[in-house]
Structure 1
Amino acid sequence: MNRKDVLALVQPDRVHRALYLSQELFELEQHTFFARTWNFVGHASQIPQPGDYVAVQIAGQPLLMVRQPDGGIRVLYNRCAHKGMPLVTDGQGRAERLLRCPYHAWTYRLDGSLLATPLRAGYEGSALQSSEAAQGMGAVAHVEVYRDFVFARLSDSGPDFHAYFGEVLAAIDNLADRSPVGRLRVEGGILRNVIHCNWKMYLENINDTVHPLSAHESATQAARRLWQDQPEDAPKPMAMEQILPFGAGYDFFDRMGGRIYPHGHSMLGVNFSIHSGYAQVPEYEAAMQAAHGAERAAEILQRSPQNSVCFPSLAVKGSPQAIRVIRPLAADRTLVEAWSLRAEGAPELLFERAMTYNRLVFSPMSMVAHDDVHLFESMQQGLRAGPNDWVSLHRDHRPGADETGVREVNGTSEALMRNQFRAWAEVMADALPPDAPGEPA
């Protein structure tokens, strides 16, 4: 597939269904798109001590995020230089002072350099020391730790971290600064759900405010029936506080507003969101004012965007303090992780909100996620049907309109989704030859 083929798949107001269905295209994405963009690896609080590690897969590559003896963080390729066995096969743990291959017991320092091999005499006179194997595990060269959020870019080609994310990093700042001391911790476990759909389908939905009224109607109607006899000023239980806004009308979602940024990033709910009505906590507000000053505290607490997308792998909610991590596995398989974050120095109520929201909305057994999972998996199958090769993204598109750069849009606009596909096409096309033979997948 060449550059022309890829660009033909993404048009100003529609995208080709091959973007969701083609395994050939997915495999091409791995070493072009995902390798050249900055992807979320993990959070520094997951590896507090030297030797602590977290194993992930990005761009089809098994990786290890490892805390170093000097306190730094390295991201290593999780592959023994001998036979290719992953050094660790569990998701998280501690390696103490070294990493040891479970197959032949080659050992590596925490920075990935080769420490020792069994039967050392057997290598005397060989070319091992001048071979690739002697170089050890190998480390990802491009790693950035921003407010304890760890990102990696696997390719040497691609934009600088700050140039890539730009203004959308304010969403991470808003999340971290909800701690009076500016620190977050991952706690409460990570909810994982493998969905049989393409990763783009899930990311689109993060910016879709039109579907809640129809897709989640049963959940919101049940909540309304339970709450309908309560006085208007009655304090809502946390579950009601979080579920009822899903039934807000189209006008509410439209007026909440959105913002698109270069490289596919976005912010939904720049004016207000379904999280804006959460009960205030006076003692927490006082602590925030003491820590950040009254003006900055107000700016942090009054901004509760519904979703901020750090394209392509991270979606952030400042309130509740939760993130979703999107990890593509195949053209029709995506791992979605829901993380709860504790703001150090903040009341327990804030962490309880994050945990409750993730259970209510993102857990595979929740009142909300099962609607989405059913829809995603059904769409993945439905896209194979019929003669129509295209997926419509026409809403709020005007032919000839310039959608590049930072731009304000209404909250129900499909410009947020078009922005993601435009960024995908730009990275893919830049990585491919202009006139190699091939046809669209």
Structure 2
Amino acid sequence: MRHSKKLGHMQHLVKEDCVHRDVYLDEALFAQEQQELFANAWTYLGHDSQIPATGDFFTLDVAGQPFVALRDQEGQVRVFHNRCPHRGAKLFAAESGRLDGRFIRCAYHSWSFRLNGAPISMPLKEGYEGTNMACSPAGEGMKPIGALQVYRGFIFGRVNPQGMDFRDYFGDVLSSIDLMVDRSPKGELQIEGGVLRNTIACNWKLYLENINDSVHPVSTHESAVRAAQSVADDWNLGTNVPMAFEQILPFGQRYDFFKEMGGQVFPHGHSISGTKFSIHSGYGVMPEYVSALQAAHGEARTKEILERSPQNTVLYPSLALKGSPQTIRVIRPVAVNRTVIESWNFRTVDGPELLLDRALTYSRLVYSPMSVVAHDDVHLFEMQQQGLRSNANEWISLHREYEASETAEPTRMCSGTSELLLRNFHRAWVTFMTSESQEA
């Protein structure tokens, strides 16, 4: 059976407590990921505040294929393959923008379409009379993405039409989006401040692993913390701590802190680092803001919103959330050894301006490719990608806090430093990479 052979191969690459280097280096596996994982998983596409008005659009690639997201005349979010059904030209070349009219027109042969993808007209229409064009894919108009879901403003898509239901796929981890959105008294977020894009010469899984790796800050970011602490000492800040120091100094916590902050894994590769507390838990709160949240959500929910500040939530395979500050990172695999990371910031609608300031400052300090924090990480990701070519050891160790019983519990609590948070990603990877129907 072809399926059985593929399953055996993938299980050889991903064992219970270690991963073979080929999952980061093999170009054929990367191509298979695009078809099996990124085309069948629910991936993050964007936020509806990026397309607030009719005709607004943005473009992106998913599973190696070009797509366009736009808002139609009825105010609905639509996502289509960015391809003219006639001869295959991309219909949208720009990264984002707004259409001049209320229709889409291909620059090649002037075929035109409504904003809901339906065909309107084409030159020399009489030339198609008596042909099979009307009942062919070309005559059906723009092809929509296989499945689409807008959840509290977050746009998710599945390239293939058949697959797992949205809520079944994400399950309880959607509460992290709820927590983020409910920081707004109005229950609404808006993308603001543009996007930071960082192209890294590493496999996307190395970056994903690092998001919920809470051991590395102690050593990787030691020099950045020392530099910040030295300046803070010279300034004799006392209790008047500028935002930049408030955000960067907690990276200097010790191993016990990161271990005790807790973690949790969920089915399908999702995970949370910092279930009890995190380096973001010490941000100050504002009495007027608390009152506004209580009026909107009630005292119990407000308490939960303000007390829960996870280090990172991963919605596998493409999105990482930080509820405080209000930022997200999006993983866009480009090649087996090249990944684009996008950092986006949110305005918390009807919330204090300080929350947006925190998001923008944190992104500059931590996610900008020239920041003192991201520079450390990017250097090590690229050194990993290069070092894995060594034949000294073909395996990546993920042994920390491994328990044989963990595979029987798809939802499980763990310490903040457990590599279960990473093992969980790879187990989901095997599931997607072997999900093909059995064939003789």
**When the two structures are superposed, what TM-score results if normalisation uses the length of structure 2?**
0.96
Are the counterparts in 1 of residues 193 and 360 from structure 2 also a CA contact under 8 Å? yes
Determine the structure 1 residue equivalent to 2:361: 356
The structural deviation recorded for 1:434 is 7.1
The structural deviation recorded for 1:78 is 0.4
The structural deviation recorded for 1:391 is 0.6
The structural deviation recorded for 1:232 is 7.7
Determine the structure 2 residue equivalent to 1:147: 152
Are the counterparts in 1 of residues 146 and 162 from structure 2 also a CA contact under 8 Å? no
**2:204 counterpart letter in structure 1:** W
From 275, 285, 301, the counterpart of 1:280? 285
From 336, 339, 342, the counterpart of 1:334? 339
The structural deviation recorded for 1:127 is 2.7
Count of aligned residue pairs for this structure pair = 435
Instruction: Give the Cα separation in 2 of the matches to 1:150 and 1:25.
Output: 27
Instruction: Give the Cα separation in 2 of the matches to 1:378 and 1:29.
Output: 23
From 160, 173, 177, the counterpart of 2:178? 173
The C-alpha deviation readout for 1:334-355, integer Å capped at 9, x for no partner, is 1100000001000100000000
Instruction: Give the Cα separation in 2 of the matches to 1:62 and 1:98.
Output: 19
- SS of structure 1 residue aligned to 2:57: strand
Instruction: Give the Cα separation in 1 of the matches to 2:439 and 2:273.
Output: 35
Instruction: Give the Cα separation in 2 of the matches to 1:13 and 1:191.
Output: 34
The C-alpha deviation readout for 1:301-357, integer Å capped at 9, x for no partner, is 111001000000010011000000111111111110000000100010000000000
The structural deviation recorded for 1:230 is 5.8
Structure 1 residues 52-67: aligned runs within 5 Å: 52-67=56-71
Which piece of structure 1 moves more, 209-218 or 165-174?
209-218
Instruction: Give the Cα separation in 2 of the matches to 1:28 and 1:57.
Output: 16
The C-alpha deviation readout for 1:87-123, integer Å capped at 9, x for no partner, is 0011111123111112222111111122111222333
Structure 1 residues 115-126: aligned runs within 5 Å: 115-126=120-131
Determine the structure 2 residue equivalent to 1:197: 202
Matched, 1:5 2:40: no
Matched, 1:241 2:260: no
- SS of structure 1 residue aligned to 2:333: strand
Determine the structure 2 residue equivalent to 1:211: 216
The structural deviation recorded for 1:175 is 0.4
Instruction: Give the Cα separation in 2 of the matches to 1:32 and 1:328.
Output: 14
Determine the structure 1 residue equivalent to 2:402: 397
Are the counterparts in 2 of residues 340 and 355 from structure 1 also a CA contact under 8 Å? yes
The structural deviation recorded for 1:141 is 3.4
Matched, 1:86 2:90: yes
RMSD (Å), alpha carbons: 1.5
Are the counterparts in 2 of residues 258 and 411 from structure 1 also a CA contact under 8 Å? yes
**2:25 counterpart letter in structure 1:** L
Instruction: Give the Cα separation in 1 of the matches to 2:35 and 2:415.
Output: 34
Determine the structure 2 residue equivalent to 1:373: 378
Are the counterparts in 2 of residues 2 and 433 from structure 1 also a CA contact under 8 Å? no
From 346, 349, 354, the counterpart of 1:344? 349
Determine the structure 2 residue equivalent to 1:43: 47
Instruction: Give the Cα separation in 1 of the matches to 2:254 and 2:224.
Output: 15
The structural deviation recorded for 1:403 is 5.5
The structural deviation recorded for 1:54 is 1.2
The C-alpha deviation readout for 1:156-190, integer Å capped at 9, x for no partner, is 33211001101100100000000000000001001
Instruction: Give the Cα separation in 1 of the matches to 2:137 and 2:270.
Output: 38
Matched, 1:159 2:164: yes
Instruction: Give the Cα separation in 1 of the matches to 2:191 and 2:405.
Output: 44
The C-alpha deviation readout for 1:373-410, integer Å capped at 9, x for no partner, is 11111111110112421111001113454463211100
Instruction: Give the Cα separation in 2 of the matches to 1:64 and 1:232.
Output: 49
Are the counterparts in 2 of residues 403 and 415 from structure 1 also a CA contact under 8 Å? no
The C-alpha deviation readout for 1:279-319, integer Å capped at 9, x for no partner, is 22111111111111111111101110010000000100110
Are the counterparts in 2 of residues 113 and 138 from structure 1 also a CA contact under 8 Å? no
Instruction: Give the Cα separation in 1 of the matches to 2:304 and 2:67.
Output: 37
- SS of structure 2 residue aligned to 1:328: strand
Query: Residue 255 and residue 328 in structure 1: after superposition, are their counterparts in 2 closer, same or farther (change >3 A)?
Result: same
**2:76 counterpart letter in structure 1:** G
- SS of structure 2 residue aligned to 1:323: strand
Are the counterparts in 1 of residues 145 and 161 from structure 2 also a CA contact under 8 Å? no
Matched, 1:300 2:305: yes
**When the two structures are superposed, what TM-score results if normalisation uses the length of structure 1?**
0.96
**2:60 counterpart letter in structure 1:** V
Are the counterparts in 2 of residues 268 and 307 from structure 1 also a CA contact under 8 Å? yes
Instruction: Give the Cα separation in 1 of the matches to 2:395 and 2:439.
Output: 24
Q: What residue ranges of structure 1 are gaps of 5+ in the alignment?
A: 436-441
